Every structure is written in C-alpha cells, then in structure tokens.
C-alpha cells in the first residue's frame, strides 16, 4: 500500500512537471493596426513605415503576397527561428491560396535578425538568397546602428525579387521615389533626412526673426492660437481601414544573422 502511494505521488509530480513544460504560453504580440509594420523598439523611421505599408497594399492587391517587418524587445526565451515561425503562423502572413508571405523579424536588444519565408516565395527567395540579403544589404547598416537604412535596403531587395517572380511592377517610385531609388550608397537615407531637418530649423529661425523684427511676433501668436484644436492625425493612409493577414502559413524556410 505504501509503495502504491509513493508511485502515485511520483506520477503526480511527473504530470505536473510535463504540464508545466508543454503548457507554456508564449506571449506573442498582436499585429499592429497597419499589419505590415510592428515596432516595439522605435527603430523604424515614419517615412519608411509608410513606404512599407503602401507598397504592401499594392503588393497584396496584385499578388496576395505580404512582407511584414516586425521589431520586438524580447524573444520570450525562444530562439529567433522558433519565435519567427510562431509569429508568422499567428499573424497568417500571405494569402491562404499561395502561402506567399514573408516576415522580417528584428531583435535589436539581442542584435539578431531572422527572415521567415512562406512556401509560395521559397522559389523566388531561397534560404541562400535570403542569407545574402541579410549579410550584404542589412547587417552592414545594423552594425552602424542605422536600422531604418538596413531595413529599407533589405526590403527593396526582397521586393525586387518578388516583382521579378510575379512579373509585376508595384510603382514604388510613385509611393516614394527617394526610398525606392535607395541603393548601395551608405548614409544616403540619413544624410537626406538630416539635411531636411537642418533646412527646416533654418527656415523656422528666419521666419521667427522676420516676424518678431517687423511684426512683433503677431504671425507666430496667430498660428499658435489657430493650431490649438487641430491635433495630430498621423499618416492619412492608416485611416483607410485595418489591414490583416491573408491566411498564409510559414514554409519553415529562411535565414538569420547577427551583428
């Protein structure tokens, strides 16, 4: 009787331990309202975010494919490959018919990136090609802390291959000519943005000087009073309706890298 009781206790302990191991619920995030860009880490420039969203809308309309960029703070104690696969499946990236989704997962805190590819895109973007895109177009920028530049370079490389696979033109130059034309010239993205910011500051200083020198600040005070109720509306594209996954599945293919 005593032996049976000990056996029963041991069995209960085993059941509890195994249930804890297999019952782990990973805290995967929900997709963003735009779906195509998820950024917990604030590494993606707003202009680039809009470019990715608008390009994806055209891509999904023409092919059913979706290229999602996600930057997360933590992998929840998973390896990056497993996390990317689970997130891909949860968000159902790409069309249900063709499983032609792709997820670019970035974890700045761990200095890791993984690109997960759905079955339908593995012909256009095999693991070897994904690896080259990561190593040649993305990581050199990430190593310098230039995340938006690296994401842009990698995103455009991926889109070039998808356009070729489906024989389509996404008119990315009309969405944003500067970002579409972004090539291998290091620093172009940041220099352009920095120059624009400098010119904006110079323009504001000149405006304030003229206003307070000749109009006693009347124009500035009028503008400040008039803008009180306007508020910030963000990108107008986000008001056109929530985007979501098309029901696609991960193909288990892809590649990763560290910087």
Predicted confidence (pLDDT) per residue in 230-250, tens digit:
332 333 333 457 889 999 999
Please give the structure tokens belonging to residue 235: 């990108």
Closest residue by Cα to residue 57 from 46, 68, 47: 68
Phi–psi pair at 102, nearest 5 degrees: -150, 135
In the prediction, which pLDDT does 211 show? Answer: 74
User: Are 171 and 63 contacting, i.e. CB atoms less than 8 angstroms apart?
Assistant: no
Q: Which residue has the tokens 């390009």?
A: 55
Report d(CA 60, CA 66) in Å as an integer.
Answer: 6
- What are the structural domain ranges in the chain? 37-185+247-258, 188-223
Q: 74-78, 156-160, 242-246 — which one is most confidently predicted on average?
A: 156-160
Q: Tell me yes or no: is domain 37-185+247-258 CATH 2.60.40.10.
A: no
In the prediction, which pLDDT does 258 show? Answer: 97
- Rounded to two decimals, what is the model's pTM? 0.71
Please give the structure tokens belonging to residue 51: 């470019």
Report d(CA 186, CA 68) in Å as an integer.
Answer: 24
pLDDT over 90 at 221, yes or no: no
Mean pLDDT in the chain?
Answer: 82
User: Are 111 and 79 contacting, i.e. CB atoms less than 8 angstroms apart?
Assistant: no
Strand 101-107 and strand 37-39: the pairing is unpaired
Closest residue by Cα to residue 50 from 138, 172, 166, 212: 172
Contacts of 159 (CB under 8 A, 6+ apart): 55, 59, 67, 170, 172
pLDDT over 90 at 43, yes or no: yes
The arrangement of strands across the sheet holding 37-39 comes to: 37-39, 66-71, 101-107, 112-118, 250-258
- The string of pLDDT tens digits covering residues 170-217 is 999 999 988 987 754 444 444 445 555 577 777 788 877 787 777 777
More confident residue, 10 or 233: 10
């Amino acid at each position: 009787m005593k032996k049976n009781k000990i056996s029963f206790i041991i069995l209960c302990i085993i059941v509890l331990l195994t249930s804890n191991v297999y019952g782990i619920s990973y805290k995967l995030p929900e997709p963003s309202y735009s779906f195509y860009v998820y950024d917990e880490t604030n590494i993606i420039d707003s202009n680039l975010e809009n470019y990715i969203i608008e390009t994806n809308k055209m891509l999904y309309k023409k092919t059913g494919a979706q290229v999602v960029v996600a930057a997360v703070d933590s992998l929840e104690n998973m390896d990056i490959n497993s996390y990317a696969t689970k997130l891909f499946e949860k968000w159902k990236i790409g069309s249900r018919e063709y499983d032609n989704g792709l997820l670019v997962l970035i974890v700045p805190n761990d200095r890791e990136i993984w690109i997960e590819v759905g079955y339908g895109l593995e012909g256009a973007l095999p693991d070897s090609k994904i690896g080259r895109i990561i190593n040649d177009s993305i990581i050199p920028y990430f190593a310098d802390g230039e995340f938006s530049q690296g994401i842009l370079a990698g995103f455009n490389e991926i889109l070039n291959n998808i356009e070729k696979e489906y024989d389509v033109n996404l008119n990315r130059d009309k969405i944003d000519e500067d970002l579409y034309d972004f090539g291998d010239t290091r620093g172009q993205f940041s220099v352009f943005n920095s120059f624009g910011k400098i010119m904006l500051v110079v323009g504001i200083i000149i405006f304030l000087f003229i206003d307070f020198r000749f109009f006693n600040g009347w124009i500035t005070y009028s503008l400040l009073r008039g803008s009180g109720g306007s508020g910030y509306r963000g990108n107008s594209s986000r008001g056109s309706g929530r985007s979501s996954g098309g029901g696609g599945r991960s193909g288990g293919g892809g590649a990763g890298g560290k910087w």
